[in-house]
């Protein structure tokens, strides 16, 4: 692959890589100055690779293979040689000429959807990931899980809504790396990660154990307490012990928060002001999990930090992010998280004291290592007015739309969304192979970095 001047030349997927194996594409459909189709043919010379003559010009001419541009349903520009697509997302960069010949384009399987209550959030993450992968290095392969648990190899995220007759794990044999854009149970709880381990496919993010631990809030809390991190006072009830809820909430003191033990995106969570509304909140939480948590209310700012594992295993922490709600007594619920004008804004970098920022970063790294996380995690805290720090939870597959918290933490320190995705994929490959030489190594992420094993 060669990036030249104001355009990009692409290695055709699956073809031998020689200086002649290049093609070019534009997101606007307009050929940039100096890059005409006749020049593509001179440089590309596909006849030498296939034995077929190429006719430039498209429809209405001789019925031999031609080269033309089109757009697919996930916003990816495709240069076609005859009926054979050569995937490439437009990227006219004006960059200094460089060569990246040693690392072939990888097919990234983006798994999304899921049979849980965070299905739509997952679809949003997948749509953003697919459209922001580095087109010089990666080609998206969309694998959707419908609400009934069926798997589908799809051409667009939107197609999942109409998919039927799901087969067992289609597309996994067509990818080099999997990017799980999944949230909630049967997605970020270690189940899909276990499947990928059995299939021996590299994947982005935490492994089976850390995914399962972080998903179980009660178990994760116990481990974090043992590591010396202050946690939220919590009690738990099941369907068999639901009668204990009133006494447990009374002991904690109102208002309390009630939430499912294993769920995310604040689905099934409620703020409860008095005993009269407790039963309904517990019943709602138990609709989403077999255990409901009752937690005391922590007064303070909600501050989150993103941890990113680098190729050498060291950990970098992005800019702190503070959630600002219009009503100080409100909480960051599903509507506030995913609805425009939902009543909350994200302040990044968070305007908090430097000493608090430093301590939050230390605790984020400690929490990441305590749960044996891998690749990435978002660690959520409460910061009290007196400087007291209380951990809320560790999210091993945070929202990954371009406007989600985790990408914004890294954008604030100079890491673009596309570059962030590349680093996550590179780390997955290195973790699987044990060799840094198998990926195109980029610069370390900015932010505070802790060497491997330092905490």
3-state secondary structure of 145: strand
Catalytic residue among 22, 124, 125, 265: 265
In the residue annotation, 393 being an active-site residue is answered as yes
CB 134 within 8 A of CB 421: yes
CB 88 within 8 A of CB 23: yes
Number of CB atoms found within 10 A of residue 216's CB: 18
* Torsion, Cα of 220, 185, 397, 259 (10° steps): -60
Catalytic residue among 176, 301, 333, 380: 380
In the residue annotation, 33 being an active-site residue is answered as no
Distance (Å, whole) CA 137 – CA 101:
11
b (16+ CB within 10 A) / e for 67-82: bebeeeebebbbbbbb
Catalytic residue among 75, 244, 334, 338: 338
In the residue annotation, 417 being an active-site residue is answered as no
Catalytic residue among 7, 22, 117, 118: 118
Catalytic residue among 80, 262, 361, 378: 378
In the residue annotation, 120 being an active-site residue is answered as no
H helical segments located in 22-97:
37-44, 47-50
* Backbone φ/ψ region at 165: left (φ over 0), alpha (ψ -120 to 50), beta: left
- Strand ranges (DSSP E) for 173-233? 177-180
CA 310 to chain CA centroid, Å, is 16
Encoded tokens for 135: 């087109």
In the residue annotation, 176 being an active-site residue is answered as no
Catalytic residue among 264, 318, 399, 447: 399
Catalytic residue among 134, 216, 289, 393: 393
Distance (Å, whole) CA 32 – CA 23:
13
In the residue annotation, 265 being an active-site residue is answered as yes
Catalytic residue among 124, 395, 404, 422: 395
Kindly list the catalytic residues. 118, 265, 338, 378, 380, 393, 395, 399
């Amino acid at each position: 692959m060669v990036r030249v001047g104001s355009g990009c030349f692409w290695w055709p997927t699956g073809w031998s890589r020689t200086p002649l194996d290049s093609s070019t594409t534009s997101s606007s459909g307009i050929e940039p100055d100096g890059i005409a189709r006749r020049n593509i043919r001179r440089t590309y010379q596909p006849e030498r690779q296939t034995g077929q003559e190429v006719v430039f010009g498209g429809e209405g001419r001789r019925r031999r293979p031609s080269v033309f541009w089109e757009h697919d349903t996930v916003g990816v520009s495709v240069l076609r040689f005859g009926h054979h697509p050569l995937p490439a997302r437009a990227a006219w960069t004006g960059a200094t000429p460089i060569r990246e010949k040693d690392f072939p384009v990888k097919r990234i399987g983006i798994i999304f959807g899921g049979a849980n209550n965070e299905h739509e959030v997952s679809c949003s993450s997948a749509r953003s990931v697919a459209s922001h992968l580095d087109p010089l290095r990666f080609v998206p392969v969309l694998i959707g899980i419908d609400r009934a648990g069926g798997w589908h190899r799809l051409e667009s995220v939107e197609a999942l809504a109409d998919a039927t007759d799901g087969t067992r794990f289609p597309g996994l044999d067509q990818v080099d790396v999997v990017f799980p854009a999944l949230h909630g149970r049967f997605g970020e709880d270690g189940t899909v990660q276990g499947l990928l381990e059995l299939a021996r496919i590299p994947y982005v993010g935490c492994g089976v154990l850390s995914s399962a631990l972080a998903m179980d809030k009660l178990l994760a809390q116990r481990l974090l307490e043992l590591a010396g991190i202050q946690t939220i006072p919590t009690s738990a009830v099941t369907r068999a012990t639901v009668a204990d809820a009133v006494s447990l909430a009374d002991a904690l003191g109102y208002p309390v928060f009630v939430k499912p033990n294993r769920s995310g995106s604040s689905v099934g969570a409620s703020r409860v002001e008095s005993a009269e509304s407790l039963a309904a909140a517990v019943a709602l939480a138990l609709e989403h999990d077999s255990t409901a948590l009752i937690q005391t209310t922590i007064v303070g700012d909600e501050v989150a930090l993103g941890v990113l594992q680098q190729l050498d295993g060291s950990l970098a922490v992005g800019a702190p992010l503070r959630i600002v709600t219009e009503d100080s007594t409100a909480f960051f619920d599903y509507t506030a998280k995913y609805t425009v004008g939902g009543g909350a804004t994200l302040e990044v970098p968070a305007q908090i004291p430097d000493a608090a920022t430093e301590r939050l970063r230390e605790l984020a790294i400690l929490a990441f290592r305590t749960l044996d996380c891998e690749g990435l995690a978002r660690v959520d805290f409460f910061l009290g007015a007196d400087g007291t720090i209380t951990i809320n939870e560790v999210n091993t597959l945070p929202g990954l739309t371009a406007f989600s918290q985790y990408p914004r933490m890294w954008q604030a320190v100079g890491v673009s969304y596309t570059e962030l995705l590349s680093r996550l994929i590179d780390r997955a490959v290195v973790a699987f192979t044990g060799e840094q030489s198998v990926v195109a190594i980029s610069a370390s992420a900015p932010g505070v970095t802790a060497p491997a094993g330092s905490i």
